[in-house]
Chain A
């Protein structure tokens, strides 16, 4: 499938690399040209030599989304560092470009929950951390440290 990832920080770049390694077509959009360094890090070849594509542009600019291939995306990941940007572009991908699978990172648990109820697939790292930490504190689960 063709995956478009908007926001190339630690999260976006990691998803991009693993999707590309799995043989998917991956396009990444970020407003910062230097974000490509995260895609190249730890790789034998550059991101583009490996077949990935990278577009510099602002997520709210339709031209940038089009250039990054939003019209033929099968999956869309909104992973910029701003909740509000993510929620708006995810809805643009879903409603205007009718991307089949849209996932959006939302740090604020309140809005992650409400937008999930409205039909957006929101992932809330804060809520996940709260649940895991709480389970660890209660001794229900035990972490041996994080690999990677």
Chain B
């Protein structure tokens, strides 16, 4: 595979090294002269100096035959445009963009750049996993399919506490897919009873989170 990486910061440099180690052909493009010289000492001809948002620089690096373009500069506008020309002008099949400011993710989406990877978002997810709000954890977002899989803790005294799955009163478009209890888990049937302390996995349509959450939040937490 031929991978073209724009931006030789920590992400780009390490990524280039990993891909080279795996036997792939890699070109890295860096616009800052000093940074370029530092990285060039190690990667030698695998790095080129230039502004990777300019078409001739991308062409010089052989973007037309790239199997993968990775845009990991520190500027979101640059990453958006690099991926946009890669796919729309040069017909590159796979692009990966780094999104530095999660508030810019909407712009990547608007212009069809995907996947856009936001380190801030990823870390936020991990934090959410450690310190869940009302015991809610996002396990998986399937954006295209407009579905998500979440994990909820059944709160003490919540509407769900001691109730059969069939009687949980969950909105249409949501489904309990498993119950985790005492270190194990099972796929529930309508008669299975959930109780405080259980962790329940649900698949639901995007937008139902609040309605679903209410059923599992204990009285003291809701206050």
Contact = CB atoms under 8 A, between A and B. Distances in A.
Interface of A: prevailing SS: helix
A37 to B, nearest CB: 26
Nearest to A110: B55
A76 to B, nearest CB: 15
Interface stretch (A4-12, A82-90, A126-134): A82-90
Interface stretch (A47-55, A91-99, A135-143): A91-99
Nearest to B56: A110
Q: Which of B54, B77, B110, B111 has the most A CB atoms < 10 Å from its CB?
A: B77
B76 A91 contact: no
Contact of A60 (B56, B88, B107, B111): B107
Range of interface residues on chain A? 10 to 19
Contacts of A108: 54-55
B85 A60 contact: no
A82 B54 contact: no
Given A62-B106, A92-B107, A114 B89 contact: yes
Interface in A54-106: 60-62, 82-85, 87-88, 91-92, 95-96
A85 B77 contact: yes
B80 interface: yes
B54 A60 contact: no
B103 interface: yes
Contacts of A84: 53, 75, 77-78, 80-81
Contact of B77 (A87, A110, A111): A87
Contacts of A88: 77, 80-81, 107, 111
A46 B77 CA distance: 33
Interface residues of B, number: 20
Contact of B110 (A82, A85, A95, A110): A95
A118 interface: yes
Contacts of B80: 84, 88
Nearest to B112: A95
Contacts of A62: 103, 106
A84 B111 CA distance: 14
Nearest to A89: B77
Given A84-B75, A84-B81, A110-B56, A61 B107 contact: no
A68 B104 CA distance: 18
Interface in B68-117: 75-78, 80-81, 85, 88-89, 101, 103-104, 106-107, 110-111
A60 B76 contact: yes
Nearest to A80: B77
B88 A92 contact: no
Closest 4 CB pairs of A and B: A84-B77, A110-B55, A88-B77, A85-B77
Interface of A: 60-62, 82-85, 87-88, 91-92, 95-96, 108, 110-111, 114, 118
Interface of B: 53-56, 75-78, 80-81, 85, 88-89, 101, 103-104, 106-107, 110-111
10 contacts: A60-B101, A60-B104, A62-B106, A84-B75, A84-B78, A88-B80, A108-B55, A114-B55, A114-B89, A118-B88
Given A62-B103, A110-B55, A114-B89, 19 more contacts: A60-B101, A83-B53, A84-B53, A84-B75, A84-B77, A84-B78, A84-B80, A87-B77, A88-B77, A88-B80, A88-B81, A92-B107, A95-B110, A96-B110, A110-B54, A111-B53, A111-B54, A114-B85, A118-B88
